[in-house]
Amino acid sequence: MFTTRRQVLARTGTLGAGIAFAGALPELFAGTAAAAPGAGDHSGYGPLIPDPNGLLDLPKGFRYRVLSREGDPLRSGEGKVPSNHDGMAAFPGSPGHPGPAAYGRAHTRLVRNHENRGDARLGVPAVDGLTYDPVGMGGCTALALDRENRVLSERVAIAGTAVNCAGGPTPWHTWLTCEETEVKAGEFGYTKDHGFVFEVDPYDPRRTGAVPLTAMGRFQHEAIAVDPRRGVIYETEDAFERPFGLFYRFLPHKPRGGRGSLRAGGVLEAMRVPEVPDLSAIQEIGATFEGIEWVPVPDPLAKQTAIRFQDFGARGVTHAQKLEGCYWGGSSVYFVASFARGKDGSAADHFGQVWRYDPQRNRLTLVIVFGPDTDVQLPGESPDNIALAPSGGLLVCEDGGGAQHVYGLTRRGEVYPVARGRQNLGTPQEPEWGEFAGVTFSPDHRTMFVNCYTPGTTFAVTGPWR
């Protein structure tokens, strides 16, 4: 077992904030730059400086560029920038094949989710050949940027999907966008079933089109992570009610097959932790479980019954409330349970857990627990999207009430502010901004990209990243 440690955040400018957590932080950074002695052990970049433009507070020496905002015209002429910016990934500028002239100068590509439901202010414009269901308002947009993060092109990458929340990149430089819904054809006017994963090519979206990867399951997807060596894909489910979501793995028939290979199908399985029906019940940092079992999903398409309600046998499978962020680091997959509340039916309360699953050892370990005991209360307390910074530090997008932050965590257990959302319509304590989402770094590690969910805004942040 690892030793339990508890730290509290440093203050952030005029607004004090803190998270209490316990964790074995070096575990998070295995296989990254921060695993080297002394690397990634800084305690942040100092207090956040209020932005005179009322958009984004950053530490001294950092600056931002607004790439696009909802309601702006798409540079492709296809319509307006859609609402509800969510999950996102950054890719190298060139894929090694020719494309439109603007793409030839690209240094970085972004693919950005739009978590639109039927009542979204601005849906993703329907485009021939890229639209799955004409009723769906969700989807993705793709941006091409030059070395100075100026936008060269911006276009629809997939449309007609629903509630595109998060997803994840593949080793072959495509984006897997996830629908966080279980709505079926005929409900709310939809013409097709939803709740699928779709592959998006950031260089030429027409190469992937709008084809659901049905074998990966139909459920309230959140995020995915790909094991680059084995080709196994891990998936989180953000279910809103009991029984809560599951942690899945997908075994493709063509592992590491490249663009389009996932259409060949595979086997979907759900995780069973022996004698642990609910992950929230585990509160001891470093708690480790051997012999993890993977149970085949009876009906991945959920034709009659949602997967989490299906019969997995007498021993069942393991559930968790609010399974969200997911990423691959070193030799393991990490995933987040954003919060758990006993009043909702969870076994115990917490403000967030980070779990590590090591497939080689078939071992699951609880790495971090956030709160709820804090010395300085954080206005919002739930970790959501997570990503590794260039130094190996972990970045966490906060998803809660009040002021919204991007935080960093060091290997020593220190949490520090990276960004805070502001807007002239609000106050530092009660801004009119939504959560942060989609935090990711450019392949050259010079720029952090992050979305504000609402009003949908994509930022490029540069500065003295370590």
Which of 111, 94, 56 has its CA nearest to residue 463? 56
Residue 382: predicted pLDDT: 55
Give pLDDT tens digits along the chain (466 positions).
222 222 222 222 222 233 344 444 455 544 444 333 333 445 689 999 999 998 999 999 999 999 999 999 999 999 999 999 999 999 999 875 444 444 458 999 999 999 999 999 999 999 999 999 999 999 999 999 999 999 999 999 999 999 999 999 999 999 999 999 999 999 999 999 999 999 999 999 999 999 999 999 999 999 999 999 999 999 999 987 899 999 999 999 999 889 999 999 999 999 999 999 999 999 998 999 999 999 999 999 999 999 999 999 999 999 999 999 898 988 999 998 988 999 999 999 988 888 999 999 999 999 888 765 532 233 344 556 777 777 667 788 876 666 788 888 776 667 788 999 875 444 555 445 678 999 999 999 999 999 999 999 999 999 998 8
Burial class (CB in 10 A: 0-12, 13-18, 19+), 305: exposed
Residue 93 DSSP symbol: S
Q: How many residues are recorded in the chain?
A: 466
In this structure, which amino acid lies at residue 132?
Answer: Y
353 to each of 1, 10, 266, how far by Cα in Å? 17, 21, 29
Which of 431, 408, 327 has its CA nearest to residue 19? 408
Structure tokens at 240: 């809103």
Residue 413: predicted pLDDT: 64
Residue entry with tokens 């005029």: 14
Residue 400: predicted pLDDT: 61
In what helix (H) or strand (E) does residue 104 lie, and over which residues does it extend?
A: helix 101-104
- Residue 7 CA to residue 127 CA, distance in Å, equals 49
347 to each of 138, 198, 318, 359, 432, how far by Cα in Å? 34, 33, 12, 26, 34
Whether the upstream peptide bond of residue 455 has omega within 30° of 0, thus cis, is yes
- Residue 150 CA to residue 141 CA, distance in Å, equals 16
Which of 428, 384, 425, 391 has its CA nearest to residue 406? 384
For 96-111, letters b (16+ CB in 10 Å) and e give eeeeeebbeebbbbbb
What is the secondary structure of 392-428 as a DSSP string?
S-EEEEE-SSSS-EEEEE-TTS-EEEEEEE--TTS-S
- Residue 265 CA to residue 368 CA, distance in Å, equals 34
Residue 193: predicted pLDDT: 98
Map out the domains of the chain with their CATH numbers. 6-462 (2.120.10.30)
- Residue 269 CA to residue 262 CA, distance in Å, equals 16
Residue 411: predicted pLDDT: 67
